[in-house]
Homo-oligomer: A and B are copies of this chain.
């Protein structure tokens, strides 16, 4: 297992972690100031900065991109909606290429409005990824399916376990893998086995950390800083690394009431300290 304190360069900042108080430009400068060498930016932040400018800043600062957030949201109530989703994913793919991301992260989408057909939504997801994958392969961009916590099955992602993502990857073939985010999968009794399974095909493209707080007061925006919750981070990272993962440890914290309100310089200092000591 890697000694993170000896490898500060593996730390990646998902830019959502400080999104409320810093623009992408400020985040890039902040990361440089704090010696953080990797980021994973969000499309809306990149759009606000301007794609060309964002790409240039990333090159100028020599940042590596552990991922690009995000493609997905495939299911729709009708064909027009699915076509819009495909167009949007094509753009996300192009942007990921422009900024030089190591993978495009897919939050696959939930039930179409008014639908209760979860199996149908899952089929739409797989069809959408299959469509995107053809282009991603040509472009040389990896697609990382991120299984989301089951509490998001209705409205964000109907891929909810690593087993399900692995099954999908088996059917889809080369070029698509998984993003393992501890927040979404820590509870899964099959986690160790499914991480090992993903590793056997070299399919773990990203590893995200934060923590599960007790109590959790909001379904979306109450993620904890690593060490403040109940997730056994070293255990899960150990499984991921035993499965052959050699990439970044990406910190992604949505925290409306706490971390998003703090001075981002303080947040980054805490992120670095926790990365060294509790991940």
* Residues on A facing B (Cβ under 8 Å): 111, 115-118, 122, 149-151, 153-155, 158, 160-161, 163-164, 167, 186-190, 212, 214-217, 219, 229-232
Assess the B215–A189 pair: CB atoms within 8 A. no
Question: Are A232 and B118 neighbours in the complex by a CB distance under 8 Å?
Answer: yes
Which residues on B sit within 8 Å (CB–CB) of A122?
Answer: 189
B residues near A229, Cβ cutoff 8 Å: 154
Are A161 and B189 CB-contacts (below 8 A) given A155-B215, A232-B117? yes
Measured CA separation A255–B187 after assembly (Å): 25
Contact residue among B117, B150, B163, B230 (Cβ-Cβ distance under 8 Å from A187) = B150
In the complex, what residues of B have CB within 8 A of residue A216's CB? Answer: 151, 219
Residues of chain B with a CB closer than 8 A to A116's CB: 230-232
**B151 near A230: Cβ-Cβ < 8 Å:** no
Q: Give the contacting residue for A151; candidates B111, B151, B155, B231; CB below 8 A.
A: B151
15 residue pairs from A and B, CB less than 8 Å apart: A111-B214, A116-B230, A118-B186, A122-B189, A149-B150, A149-B151, A150-B188, A151-B151, A153-B187, A154-B229, A158-B187, A161-B188, A161-B189, A163-B189, A163-B190
A154→B230 contact, CB < 8 A: yes
Known: A151-B216, A230-B111. A118 touches B164 (CB 8 A): no
Smallest CB separation, A75 vs chain B (Å):
12
Q: Which B residues are in CB contact (< 8 Å) with A117?
A: 232
Q: How far is the CA of A187 from the CA of B161 in the complex (A)?
A: 10
Closest to A212 in B: B154
- Between A190, A217, A230, A232, the greatest number of chain B beta carbons within 10 A of the residue's beta carbon is seen for A230
